[in-house]
Amino acid sequence: MSVETISTSYPPLIDPASYYILLLTDGTKIQIDAGANPNPPKTANTVLATHWHWDHLYGLVGAPPSKVYISKNSFQLVNGQLALSRMQNVIKAVIGEHAWEPVKEAAEAFASRYDEIRDALQSKHEVIFLEESEDPLPLGFKVLTCPGHSDDHLCYLKDTHIFVGDNVVYPGAVSLTHLLKYRETIAKILAEPNWKTLYPGHGKPIGRQETLKWFLRTYKSKEKRMCRLSLLLGKGVKLIEALNHIYGKLDGILYYVAARSLLGYIRALEDVGLVEVDKSVSPWKIKLKD
Q: Is the same domain home to 132 and 10? A: yes
The answer to whether residue 96 sits within a structural domain is no
pLDDT digits (tens, 9 = 90+) for 98-109: 889 888 888 898
pLDDT at 236 over 90: no
The answer to whether residue 99 sits within a structural domain is no
pLDDT at 277 over 70: yes
Q: Is the same domain home to 192 and 260? A: no
- Rounded CA-CA distance 237/235 in Å is 7
Domain's final residue, options 166, 196, 217? 217
The answer to whether residue 64 sits within a structural domain is yes
Task: Give, in order, the Cα–Cα distances in Å from 261 to each of 1, 82, 150, 162, 194.
Answer: 36, 18, 11, 25, 31
Q: Is the same domain home to 120 and 259? A: no
Q: Structurally, how many domains does the chain consist of?
A: 2
Domain hosting 227: range is: 221-288
Reported as a pLDDT band with limits 50, 70 and 90, residue 136 is: low
* Average pLDDT of the segment spanning 191-212: 97
The answer to whether residue 101 sits within a structural domain is no
CATH code, domain with 29: 3.60.15.10
Domain's final residue, options 217, 242, 276? 217
- Strand 161-169 relative to strand 46-48: parallel, antiparallel, unpaired? unpaired
Say what the pTM is: 0.92
Q: Is the same domain home to 71 and 192? A: yes
| Phi, psi for 276 (deg, rounded to 5) | -130, 145
Q: Is the same domain home to 273 and 193? A: no
Q: Is the same domain home to 121 and 210? A: yes
pLDDT at 70 over 90: yes
The answer to whether residue 109 sits within a structural domain is no
Domain's final residue, options 195, 217, 239? 217
